[in-house]
Amino acid sequence: MAVPVAVLDCDLLLYGRGHRTLDRFKLEDVTDEYLVSTYGFPRQFICYLVDLLGASLSRPTQRSRAISPETQILAALGFYTSGSFQTRMGDAIGISQASMSRCVANVTEALVERASQFIHFPEDEAAFQSLKDDFYELAGMPGVLGVVDCTHVAIKAPNAEDLSYVNRKGLHSLNCLMVCDARGVLMSAETHWPGSLPDGTVLQQAALTRQFETELHKHGWLLGDSSFLLRTWLMTPLPIPETPTEYRYNMAHSATHNVIERTFRTIRSRFRCLDGSKGTLQYSPEKSSHIILACCVLHNISLEHGVDVWSSSATGHMEQPEEEYEQMESMDSEACRIRQELLLTHFS
């Protein structure tokens, strides 16, 4: 005989059946200073997210229909920027810890659905030229479309494929491959790679490589550090510079590539759920990857809305495995020719 099971809704117990939409928290009731200190972003930015994600977050589902999009977004921002499901965070907006978790899941998926809208390379020649001009102004490196690097985000040990996520420091992580422009705007973010994979292997298998080899290589090149192999569309530093020309090239390369390192620091500082200071992401690799990508989307939206990318300094503790670079030259003779021509034309 089937036994009926009662499913208890924490919010229903707290607030009763009279609330079809629980407006527990009103943006207009608090100051901008409070919103920035508690949720990491000002009122105008939060209102934009409500307009952007409202339709997705208002889907009539069994569990989330009682919580307004505004409340769900505040809950998610509170987690992204603090890295914690603290009881006081839920109390501030009037929801339980279990509901906080559901809100984070809902908002994360809504942001991931829109990732291609906010994270992408330009599509016209004028925009590509603008990228190259911006990078050239930094340190005189010509033809640069973006700077690429990897960063690790610590996660809990997954139930399956455990060893594939163990990085060089013996910690479980995702290795995230990203490209940004001269302002720190992300143009590519692949956040799902297991932490055991070296940076060079990640790039070799990445969609980014296929994208450049098939279409974007004709517009210019990316800059990558010595963990990557020299390619016709990826300029790396010279392993052992010997001449003044080679030193000038390496110095310009380093100064330009530093933009992605600053961008990583800013993202970790703004989104403390990624920096390890409150522990690892307590989710499966897939869900953790989505949270990282959601934070990348928010990073780009914040730049679009004038929230300064360099406004805060990183204070987190996210583990970043140091690659043991094997200094080896590319066997691609065309890539070597292109780099040599670049040295002679612009740095001699």
* Mean pLDDT value of segment 185-210: 96
Same domain, 49 and 146: no
**Structural Rg of the chain based on CA atoms:** 23
- 97 has a pLDDT exceeding 90: no
| CA neighbor of 73 nearest in space, from 37, 111, 36 | 111
pLDDT tens per residue across span 178-194: 999 999 999 999 999 99
Same domain, 113 and 123: no
For 306, the token pair is 């004038």
| 327 falls within a domain | no
| 71 falls within a domain | yes
Which residue range forms the structural domain that includes residue 175? 119-299+333-347
pLDDT (0 to 100) of residue 218:
82
Per DSSP bridges, beta strands 221-223 and 173-180 are: unpaired
DSSP 92: H
pLDDT (0 to 100) of residue 237:
96
Cα–Cα distance between 95 and 203 in angstroms, integer? Answer: 42
Q: Best-predicted range by mean pLDDT among 75-79, 165-169, 290-294, 314-318?
A: 290-294
| 76 falls within a domain | yes
| 13 falls within a domain | no
| CA neighbor of 329 nearest in space, from 339, 318, 319, 317 | 339
Cα–Cα distance between 10 and 24 in angstroms, integer? Answer: 14
Do 188 and 119 contact (CB within 8 A), yes or no? yes
Least confident of 5-9, 203-207, 235-239: 5-9
Same domain, 251 and 149: yes
Torsion sign, CA atoms 273, 310, 35, 119 = negative
Same domain, 156 and 274: yes
* Mean pLDDT value of segment 145-159: 94
| 160 falls within a domain | yes
Number of domains in the chain: 2
pLDDT (0 to 100) of residue 316:
44
For 237, the token pair is 């530093």
Cα–Cα distance between 194 and 174 in angstroms, integer? Answer: 5
| 44 falls within a domain | yes
Same domain, 42 and 166: no
pLDDT (0 to 100) of residue 20:
38
Amino acid identity, position 310: W
Q: Measure Cα distances from 92 to 50, 70, 281 in Å.
A: 18, 13, 23
Same domain, 127 and 252: yes
| 51 falls within a domain | yes
CB atoms within 10 A of CB 243: 12
Residue with tokens 């455990």: 162
3-state secondary structure of 216: helix
pLDDT (0 to 100) of residue 59:
65
Same domain, 32 and 150: no
Q: Confidence class of residue 15 from pLDDT cuts 50, 70 and 90?
A: very low
- Secondary structure element (H or E) that encloses residue 148, with its range: strand 144-154
User: Higher confidence at residue 327 or residue 166?
Assistant: 166
Same domain, 97 and 238: no
Least confident of 39-53, 237-251, 258-272, 310-324: 310-324
Amino acid identity, position 287: K
Residue 234 burial by Cβ neighbours in a 10 Å radius (0-12, 13-18, 19+): buried
Q: Confidence class of residue 275 from pLDDT cuts 50, 70 and 90?
A: confident
> What global pTM score does this model have?
0.87
Do 139 and 256 contact (CB within 8 A), yes or no? yes
pLDDT tens per residue across span 59-86: 665 454 568 899 999 999 999 998 876 6
